[in-house]
Structure 1
């Protein structure tokens, strides 16, 4: 799930060695938009932290490589960010790192008649994620079958992220802003998207890149 389209997969192959060399891990790559697309790259350190300086460092490191390799044959904007608090879950270790937390998952092909799942992560073994669903049932879902997965924002998640140094301290009013107001019945919500993350750190490259 780190990369879905062919161009995203190619970009991942191009930039991952450089990211690794400066001590960062690529969490997700997405091309978004049509006229002037945004290349969104989420990354973090192995401990899950990522500050503005790290974002800028990665942007500077991969910019020249993307210019040389030229995987995007049109004008685009580069956006480098942290995964955010309600982060996308794209790797097996992401599910293991956030055991017991609430998540929303969507699969490409229906499993027992459903494509969307909402529940608590209870385990991850060999790429199979176990969930206690909000409706009282259980599910085991292969990460390879997922097309979207993310944590659900709530007070407990914020507190845990803060304890790990992965989120800033918030006052009471800010906590209220992050309350999860989405319906528990995600199976009927076709608007579920991974792109609703509240990014803690983000660097936008103001220079539009264009193929010469």
Structure 2
């Protein structure tokens, strides 16, 4: 997961939030399937429909054309976070304490990149994840991708 720049996130937030949606996160993937992809995750209490995604995409496209915060061509994708919701920042980690998470690090720590376990908490600049009875401190700046494990 490549988080978008702070400037790009603010441009997107300026469109999404006034429309009544929560901005979950923004990714910019260069070289994605031969091109560039701007992926925007939105949510709201009653859930997200295809019409919600289309409305945000339409508004956001116009603003991005005017603001032009990205070089070159890219595809825009507006999506709900889904059941395996991505986690982008400390505030979101705080919200999901007590839930199972999948975390991928870059670079690996002690030869390990992937952790699946219980999110125990957030301290300073790291999260605590319990995997098989052992607690691992994972630094926020080393997290490449983090997602909730769906509960059924």
TM-score (ref. length: structure 1)? 0.60
In structure 2, what is the Cα distance between the partners aligned to 1:75 and 1:109? 29
| Matched pairs, number | 149
Q: Which residue of 1 aligns with 2:37?
A: 38
Q: Which residue of 2 aligns with 1:62?
A: 60
Structure with higher strand content: 2
Q: Deviations over 1:152-211 (max 9, x none)?
A: 23xxx14xxxxxxxxxxxxxxxxxxxxxxxxxxxxxxxxxxxxxxxxxxxxxxxxxxxxx
- For 1:89, which of 87, 96, 109 is the aligned residue? 87
- Distance change >3 Å, CA 25–CA 126, structure 1 → 2: farther
Q: For 1:1-212, list aligned pairs within 5 A.
A: 4=3, 8-9=4-5, 10-32=7-29, 33=32, 35-45=34-44, 47=45, 49-134=47-132, 136-153=133-150, 157-158=151-152
RMSD: 2.5
Displacement after TM superposition at 1:29 (Å) = 2.1
Which structure has the larger Rg over C-alpha atoms? 1
Displacement after TM superposition at 1:58 (Å) = 1.5
In structure 1, what is the Cα distance between the partners aligned to 2:33 and 2:72? 10
Displacement after TM superposition at 1:13 (Å) = 2.6
Displacement after TM superposition at 1:42 (Å) = 1.0
- Distance change >3 Å, CA 35–CA 132, structure 1 → 2: closer
Displacement after TM superposition at 1:127 (Å) = 4.9
TM-score (ref. length: structure 2)? 0.79
In structure 2, what is the Cα distance between the partners aligned to 1:57 and 1:41? 13
- Distance change >3 Å, CA 48–CA 102, structure 1 → 2: farther
**Higher relative contact order by CA 8 Å / sep ≥ 6: 1 or 2?**
1
Name structure 2 gaps, 5 residues minimum. none
Deviating beyond 6 angstroms after TM superposition, the runs of 4 or more aligned structure 1 residues are none
